[in-house]
A and B are shown apart, each in its own frame.
Chain A
Amino acid sequence: MSVESDNSAEPKVKRFMYVNRKAPHGTVYALEVLEMVLISAMFEQDVHLTFLDDGVFQIKKGQNPSVLEMKDFSKTYRALDGYGIEKVFVEKESMEERGLSQDDLIIPVEIIGREELGALMESMDVVLSA
């Protein structure tokens, strides 16, 4: 990167993206990523959270996994804002394929197209996906 940042005492803030592609309760991936995101908030990086493919179902309203005696972590997504994680994206095409709209989602998100999402991913320093 720039010479200026090499000489700086401040560590460089990196652009991080967490990519969620899995449905929430059939596997443990969604919960694990959520915990990783909450921890990463402490490191004051530039965090981007993205939901695409079946990952969109992670933030579907009305989830009640307690009927399966499983933890309801869907409410935790609402706390992300309080952790300074405000850059949340949902892929438009993924939402439409599943018959979902912004009204079905637990949290306000920025809805972006597939092509735009690809470009956003490309602009990251670190991408972690599950």
Chain B
Amino acid sequence: MGPLHTVNKSPFASTALESCLARLTEGAAVLLIEDGVYAALAAGAAADRLAEAANRHPVYVLGPDLAARGLAEASLLDGVRVIDYLGFVDLATRHSAVQSWF
């Protein structure tokens, strides 16, 4: 399997997400963590760009980071999968590498 890309910055405050999405290869997955989870808001300005990526790649978001920020799962973009810490570990072991965008 391709790499797992983690993004930990808000898409409104950093180009980390944009830089990541522009470089996704076949088999790559994206995991949004920390302030990166704001990108998954369906009504947010980053939604279209992330939705486009989610059509071709699995996109995950870390549940505890959503809860900390008061973001309900119902407010997220369709196709984004919420995972917990064990899910994060599982993804890290199944992918060829973990690449951080921050």
Q: Would you list the 5 A-B pairs with minimal beta carbon distance, nearest first?
A: A99-B43, A62-B70, A26-B35, A63-B70, A65-B68
| Contact for B69 among A22, A24, A97, A99, CB less than 8 A | A24
Note all chain A residues with C-beta closer than 8 A to B13: 22-23, 53-54
A61 touches B70 (CB 8 A): yes
Interface residues on B, range: 20 to 34
Does B6 belong to the interface (CB within 8 Å)?
no
| CB of B11 to closest CB in A, whole Å | 10
B68 touches A57 (CB 8 A): no
Does B5 belong to the interface (CB within 8 Å)?
no
Q: Binding site of A, secondary structure by majority: helix, strand, loop or mixed? A: loop
A23 touches B41 (CB 8 A): no
Give the interface of B toward A (CB within 8 A).
8-10, 12-13, 34-35, 38, 41-45, 47, 64-65, 67-72, 75
In the bound complex, how far is the Cα of B9 from the Cα of A26, in angstroms? 8
Q: A53-B12, A53-B13, A67-B64 are in contact. Are A25 and B35 (CB under 8 A)?
A: yes
A64 touches B70 (CB 8 A): yes
B67 touches A64 (CB 8 A): yes
A98 touches B12 (CB 8 A): yes
| CB of B22 to closest CB in A, whole Å | 21
Query: In chain A, what residue has the closest Cβ to B12?
Result: A54
Most interface-central of A26, A60, A61, A62 (chain B CB within 10 A): A26
Query: In chain A, what residue has the closest Cβ to B45?
Result: A97
| CB of B65 to closest CB in A, whole Å | 7
A67 touches B67 (CB 8 A): yes
Fill in one digit per residue for A32-75: 1 if any B CB lies within 8 Å of its CB, else 0.
00000000000000000000011001001111110110100010
